[in-house]
Amino acid sequence: MFNKTAIAASVTLMSIATAHAEGPYRIGITQNNVGVDSYQTTYESAFEAAAEREGNVDVVVLDAGGDVARQIGQMQDLIQQRVDAIIIWPTNGQAVIPAIRQAHSAGIPVIVTNSKIAEAGMEFIAAFSGPDNVQQGISSAEMMCDALGGEGQIVQISGQPGYTTAMERAGGFEDRLAEACPGVELLETQPGNWNRERAQRVMEDFLTKYDHIDGVYSGDDNMGVGALNAAKGAGRADGIIFIGATNFAVGYDAIARGEYYGSIYQSPVDDAEAALQTALDVLAGEDLPKMNFFDTPKITAENLEEFDRPVF
């Protein structure tokens, strides 16, 4: 009895002391497609672990399985359950807006994580938390420029067509490259669909088509390693600079072996923790910017040791 009273008292005291300790909060999350790739799988476990550590947060974890209709249904379920905040990893930046607006009208703050939604929906969300993919493209372009010394011919293997992340990275890369490095010519871009085997095939065709390739920019390391495989198979890997994004374990190892120039370190753990923290900040009534980007630094052989080997 004494214990219970003591705990209750201390909880009351804490809630007066800091806004954070208010709660417990119930936060619902509807994810895009857990299990489809390593990144999302790691994100989910990291999110749950972060909520566990937070203590005063109760999470409802849902997964849309890549299906927009299911995600909208999950949004409505979460609204019905009157959770305190909803985090959504949009399956589609356009189609989920009506559901986000519903939550907004019901007074439930919505935090969009990882992938952006269309401009039309921005007024209904409390905040966005995720990587800045345009900036990642820019950083990759700068690395490419440095590695080539401002001269050369390169090809690009982009992600899934129509996928925001793919378009933003490609856009950031192309714009920055043209601006910072007019001496580097982008010969051609082909999609590799985030798939290593397809990227490998695309690269084989590039190697046939172009006798001279100085660099390859891939939308993620999974595809980048496919491109590296192809170049090694053709005996041309030595003369080519490989740069990727979303550093994967295979990319990390390839950098360590000196076969791969660099990548962008984007941790799903940081992504998940940033999403939860953004939600908590929103609930605490803190004044947040709309766009909250977590840091995704460049990674090359020089600073490799500062980073843990990615778990995916």
Partner 1 sequence: MASTEQTKVVVPLGKLSKAGVLSFLSAQGILIFFLIGMFVFSFFSEQFLSQSNIMTVVRQASIIGIIAVGVTVVIIGGNLDLSVGSMLSFSTVLVVDLHDKIGPTNAILLMFALTLMIGAVNGFLIGFLRLNSLIVTLAMLSAIQGFVLIYSGGQNVDIANQENTWFAFFGRGFVGGIAVPVLMFGLLAILIQVVMSYTGYGRRIFAVGGNPMAAVYSGIRKNWCVFSTYLISAFCVACAALVLGSRVMGSQNNVGQGYELLVLAGIILGGTSLLGGAGSIWKTVIGVLILGFIQNGLLLMGYPYYIQWIVTWVIIILAVWLDLANKRKRLFTSHS
Cβ neighbors of 17 (< 8 A, separation 6 or more) are none
Of 145 and 157, which CB lies nearer to partner 1 in the complex structure? 157
Binding to partner 1 (CB under 8 A) within 135-194 occurs at 161, 188, 190-191
- Strands 110-113 vs 85-88: parallel, antiparallel or unpaired: parallel
Whose structure tokens read 């590695």? 147
Q: Which of 139, 156, 229, 292 binds partner 1 (CB under 8 A)?
A: 229
Shortest separation between residue 256's beta carbon and partner 1, angstroms: 12
Shortest separation between residue 265's beta carbon and partner 1, angstroms: 17
Query: Using alpha carbons only, what angle is made at residue 53 by residues 51 and 58, rounded to the nearest 5 degrees?
Result: 35
The SS3 call for residue 3 is helix
Exposure on the CB side of residue 225, measured as CA atoms within 13 A: 16
Q: Distance between CA 148 and CA 151 in Å, rounded? A: 6
Of 40 and 115, which CB lies nearer to partner 1 in the complex structure? 40
Of 40 and 292, which CB lies nearer to partner 1 in the complex structure? 40
**Residue 151: DSSP 8-state:** -
Q: Distance between CA 309 and CA 253 in Å, rounded? A: 8
Of 189 and 300, which CB lies nearer to partner 1 in the complex structure? 189
Q: Tell me if 212 contacts partner 1 by CB under 8 A.
A: no
The stretch among 21-29, 116-124, 248-256, 269-277 that binds partner 1 (CB under 8 A) is: 248-256
- On whether the CB atoms of residues 221 and 228 are closer than 8 A, the answer is no
Whose structure tokens read 């909208």? 72
Q: Which of 179, 205, 302, 308 binds partner 1 (CB under 8 A)?
A: 205
Q: Tell me if 98 contacts partner 1 by CB under 8 A.
A: no
Of 127 and 254, which CB lies nearer to partner 1 in the complex structure? 254
- On whether the CB atoms of residues 50 and 78 are closer than 8 A, the answer is no
Q: Which of 29, 202, 276, 279 binds partner 1 (CB under 8 A)?
A: 202
Q: Tell me if 308 contacts partner 1 by CB under 8 A.
A: no
- List helix spans (H) across the chain: 2-17, 38-54, 68-80, 97-105, 133-148, 164-180, 196-209, 221-233, 249-256, 268-283
Q: Which of 40, 115, 164, 292 binds partner 1 (CB under 8 A)?
A: 40
Q: Which of 71, 156, 222, 292 binds partner 1 (CB under 8 A)?
A: 222
- Residues in the interface with partner 1 (CB under 8 A) total 32
Q: Distance between CA 27 and CA 84 in Å, rounded? A: 6
- Strands 262-264 vs 291-293: parallel, antiparallel or unpaired: unpaired
Of 24 and 35, which CB lies nearer to partner 1 in the complex structure? 35
The stretch among 89-97, 100-108, 246-254, 261-269 that binds partner 1 (CB under 8 A) is: 246-254
Tokens for 36, please give them: 């489809």
Q: Distance between CA 288 and CA 127 in Å, rounded? A: 7
What mask of x and - would describe binding to partner 1 in positions 249 to 278, judged by CB under 8 A? xx--x-------------------------
Of 40 and 71, which CB lies nearer to partner 1 in the complex structure? 40
Binding to partner 1 (CB under 8 A) within 50-89 occurs at none
Residues that bind partner 1 (CB under 8 A): 34-38, 40-42, 161, 188, 190-191, 195-197, 200-202, 204-205, 208-209, 222, 225-226, 229, 233, 248-250, 253, 312
